[in-house]
């Protein structure tokens, strides 16, 4: 197995190009620590509190729905992550093998928008967290936002190895802190209605399951970015298992912690306030650790945004191999633009932006469907890497109409069932409070793309049987 030498630079020198076999390094367990640590953060904890506060489930039914949703959705992120060692390229670049060189720009654009949206939201959240951690030491909000943004940018610029190193440390620190929080809550007096508050309702239970599935799918456009340096002979199974366990255990623990904290405090208490109240003296320590995790997680958003933008530019400049300087410059430009937006953000900016991002998941579901069917069922992991980087798309062409048609149909069929802040479809309330559009998207896109993609091959087989030749 290739190992990194002492001469290897700390700052990652690859961008969207292929990682040669001689430069592969790391172990599958690195994927466990990355996705476990990444998901122990305020946002999943706040979302977990919604299970009791919004969907009105009790502890037992809430935990069951949380676990089922993430265990089902985790299959998607794990299958996407397992592609990295085989391909050795970022996820968005790999999409050229499915959509064609220029056709892949469809999803690259949306992916970049999602990354930037989360980056802005997280630096606003980090800025507010810095202000609130030590009230006795006044730090202006603008300065706090800049501190959070610069910290995340530094991590993102250094790149792949440093991100993995931070999350290896974060797994032990954040995991231990969260378990200590559970112990503290259960070691103290709980409200009389802790086990009985809420109950079972089909709408709330299905909404929670759907939320878990959507949560996992939302990570799929950049999972192989963090597995592409692994040795090619590592196979599919080990990266799949490591990613699956890390992503599902991290999110289930965080969602469950939010649910428990909400039930351990008076009904109606705001989620993060509930965490502080329920964990007592441990609360301030958790807040500091959550802040550090926000910054570390935000580095992934910046890293993904930079790779997506470079992929877009490189689509029109096939002979251009971006350098470290390009990644640093683009990181600085994104940082400046995002800080301008964040500094002028309104009080409800985060809620509005998260609503936009969740609405954009409508475009991720058909992409994930096409990606997984193409990789695992049709091409079975065998791609022509050289063609992916050719100006004309090589064997994949400039546009793959089969994938593009299936992609847009996959979006269209979801619209009647969509239940987002931007658009509510006419059949959105078949199950009140649950957005089931993702289920329709998967059910339609997977078989449709398979039929379209294998149609030409089937026609050739039939022609051969009839004795026709080209």
113 token code pair: 């928008």
- Say how many C-beta atoms besides its own lie within 10 A of residue 324's C-beta: 15
**pLDDT (average), residues 30-55:** 88
465 token code pair: 């049987």
At 456 the pLDDT is 62
Cα 134 → chain centroid: 31
At 1 the pLDDT is 36
Find tokens 């959240």 and name the residue. Answer: 125
Domain boundaries, the chain: 21-367
At 354 the pLDDT is 59
pLDDT at 236 over 90: yes
Burial class (CB within 10 angstroms; exposed 0-12, middle 13-18, buried 19+) of 9: exposed
Burial class (CB within 10 angstroms; exposed 0-12, middle 13-18, buried 19+) of 394: middle
Q: Encode pLDDT of 396-429 as tens digits.
A: 999 999 999 999 999 999 999 888 777 888 888 7
Give start and end residues of each alpha helix (H) in 280-380: 283-315, 324-343, 349-372
At 470 the pLDDT is 45
pLDDT at 384 over 90: yes
> What is the rounded CA–CA span in Å between residue 225 and residue 28?
14
- Say what the pTM is: 0.85
Name the band, by pLDDT with cuts 50, 70 and 90, for residue 124.
Answer: confident
What is the DSSP secondary-structure string of 91-130? Answer: HHHHTHHHH-TTTTHHHHHHHHHHHHHHHHHHHHHHHHHH
Q: Encode pLDDT of 171-205 as tens digits.
A: 888 888 899 999 999 998 899 999 999 999 988 89
Q: Encode pLDDT of 98-120 as tens digits.
A: 999 999 998 888 888 888 877 88
Q: Which CATH number fits domain 21-367: 3.40.50.300, 2.60.120.260, 1.10.150.120, 1.10.4160.10?
A: 1.10.4160.10
pLDDT at 246 over 90: yes
What value, to the nearest 5°, has the Cα angle with vertex 426 and ends 420 and 431? Answer: 70
End-to-end CA distance of the chain: 45
13 token code pair: 């020198």
Name the band, by pLDDT with cuts 50, 70 and 90, for residue 6.
Answer: very low
**pLDDT (average), residues 119-141:** 64
At 142 the pLDDT is 66
pLDDT at 2 over 60: no
Name the band, by pLDDT with cuts 50, 70 and 90, for residue 352.
Answer: low
pLDDT at 299 over 90: no
pLDDT at 355 over 70: no
40 token code pair: 């122990």
At 118 the pLDDT is 79
Name the band, by pLDDT with cuts 50, 70 and 90, for residue 341.
Answer: confident
Name the band, by pLDDT with cuts 50, 70 and 90, for residue 168.
Answer: confident
């Amino acid at each position: 197995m290739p190992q990194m030498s002492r001469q290897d630079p700390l700052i990652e020198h690859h961008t969207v190009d292929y990682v040669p076999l001689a430069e592969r390094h790391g172990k599958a367990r690195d994927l466990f620590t990355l996705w476990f640590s990444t998901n122990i953060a305020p946002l999943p904890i706040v979302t977990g509190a919604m299970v009791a506060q919004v969907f009105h489930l009790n502890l037992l039914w809430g935990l069951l729905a949380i676990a089922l949703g993430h265990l089902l959705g985790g299959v998607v992120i794990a299958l996407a992550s397992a592609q990295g060692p085989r391909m050795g390229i970022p996820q968005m670049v790999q999409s050229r093998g499915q959509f064609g060189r220029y056709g892949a720009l469809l999803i690259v654009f949306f992916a970049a928008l999602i990354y930037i949206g989360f980056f802005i939201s997280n630096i606003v959240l980090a800025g507010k967290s810095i202000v609130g951690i030590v009230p006795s030491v006044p730090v202006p909000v603008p300065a706090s936002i800049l501190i959070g943004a610069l910290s995340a940018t530094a991590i993102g610029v250094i790149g792949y190895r440093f991100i993995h190193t931070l999350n290896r440390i974060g797994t032990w620190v954040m995991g231990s802190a969260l378990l200590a929080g559970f112990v503290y809550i259960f070691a103290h007096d709980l409200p009389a209605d802790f086990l009985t508050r809420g109950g079972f309702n089909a709408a709330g239970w299905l909404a929670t399951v759907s939320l878990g599935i959507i949560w996992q799918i939302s990570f799929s456009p950049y999972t192989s970015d963090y597995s592409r340096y692994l040795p090619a002979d590592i196979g599919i199974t080990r990266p799949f298992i490591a990613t699956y366990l890390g992503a599902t255990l991290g999110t289930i623990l965080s969602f469950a912690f939010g649910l428990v904290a909400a039930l351990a405090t008076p009904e109606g208490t705001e989620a993060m306030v509930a965490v502080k109240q329920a964990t007592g003296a441990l609360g301030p320590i958790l807040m500091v650790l959550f802040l550090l995790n926000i910054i570390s997680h935000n580095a992934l958003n910046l890293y993904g945004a930079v790779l997506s933008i470079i992929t877009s530019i490189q689509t029109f400049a096939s002979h251009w191999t971006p350098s470290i300087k390009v990644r640093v410059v683009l990181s600085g430009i994104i940082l400046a633009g995002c800080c301008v937006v964040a500094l002028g953000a309104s009080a409800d900016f985060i809620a509005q932006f998260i609503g936009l991002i969740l609405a954009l998941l409508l475009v991720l579901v058909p992409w994930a469907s096409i990606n997984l069917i193409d990789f695992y069922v049709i091409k079975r992991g065998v791609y022509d890497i050289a063609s992916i980087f050719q100006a004309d798309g090589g064997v994949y062409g400039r546009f793959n109409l089969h994938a593009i048609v299936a992609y847009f149909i996959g979006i269209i069929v979801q619209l009647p069932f969509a239940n987002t802040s931007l658009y509510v479809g006419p059949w959105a309330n078949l199950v009140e409070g649950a957005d089931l559009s993702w289920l329709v998207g998967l059910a339609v896109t997977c078989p449709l793309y398979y039929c379209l993609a294998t149609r030409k091959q089937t026609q050739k087989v039939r022609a051969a049987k009839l004795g026709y030749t080209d």
